[in-house]
C-alpha cells in the first residue's frame, strides 16, 4: 500500500493564498442631537456608499430601538488622521471609496444640530477617538 505524504506547509500556504478577506471595517461613533444618546463600535463598509447608508440606518434604528429615523438629519463624516484629525464629510461614493482604502478608518455620524465639527469640541467623540 502506498501513502502519499503531504507537505503541510505548502497546503497551509495554499489555503492562506486562496483566502481573500475583502471586508473593510471601520470604527464607528454615532451621536444624536442631545449628545446623550450615542452608538460606538465597528462597522463593515459595504461596496458602495448607498448600501452603507442603508445598513447604517438599520443598525441605528435597531440599537436605539427606533422605528423611524431620518438619516438625512445626520452628517456622515470620517476623521482625516493624516491631516490634523479633521472631520471630513462623506457625501459621495467617490469620497467613500477613498475612505475604504485608508489604513485606519474612523467614521463619525453626527446629528446636524451639533454645530461643532472639531473633534476636541465634542467631548464624547474626542474621548472615543483618543481611546482608539
* Average pLDDT along the chain, 132 residues, taken 10 residues at a time: 52 60 88 92 94 94 88 95 91 96 95 92 95 92
Tally of domains in the chain:
1
Domain that holds residue 72: 23-131
C-alpha closest to that of 71 among 82, 62, 60, 63: 60
User: According to the model, what pLDDT value does residue 31 have?
Assistant: 96
| Secondary structure class of 57 (helix, strand, coil) | helix
Identify whether 1 is part of a domain: no
- What is the layout of strands, in order, in the sheet containing 86-89? 38-45, 24-31, 106-111, 74-80, 86-89
- E strands within 9-119? 24-31, 38-45, 74-80, 86-89, 106-111
pLDDT of residue 21: 58
Given this model, what pLDDT does residue 66 score? 85
pLDDT of 19 reads: 57
Instruction: Please state the pTM of the whole predicted model.
Output: 0.81
pLDDT of amino acid 83: 85
The answer to the question of residue 64 being in a domain is yes
Residue 16 lies in a domain: no
Residue 29: predicted pLDDT: 97
Give the pLDDT of residue 1: 46
- CATH value at residue 63: 3.10.20.90
Task: Determine the pLDDT at residue 40.
Answer: 95
Amino acid at each position: 500500500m502506498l501513502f502519499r505524504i503531504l507537505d503541510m506547509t505548502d497546503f497551509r500556504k495554499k489555503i492562506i493564498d486562496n483566502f481573500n478577506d475583502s471586508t473593510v471595517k471601520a470604527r464607528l461613533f454615532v451621536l444624536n442631537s442631545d449628545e446623550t444618546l450615542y452608538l460606538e463600535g465597528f462597522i463593515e463598509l459595504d461596496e458602495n456608499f448607498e448600501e452603507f447608508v442603508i445598513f447604517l440606518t438599520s443598525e441605528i434604528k435597531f440599537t436605539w430601538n427606533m422605528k423611524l429615523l431620518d438619516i438625512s438629519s445626520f452628517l456622515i463624516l470620517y476623521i482625516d488622521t493624516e491631516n490634523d484629525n479633521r472631520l471630513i464629510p462623506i457625501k459621495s461614493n467617490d469620497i467613500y471609496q477613498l475612505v475604504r482604502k485608508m489604513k485606519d478608518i474612523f467614521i463619525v455620524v453626527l446629528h446636524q444640530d451639533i454645530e461643532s465639527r472639531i473633534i476636541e469640541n465634542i467631548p464624547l467623540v474626542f474621548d472615543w477617538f483618543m481611546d482608539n
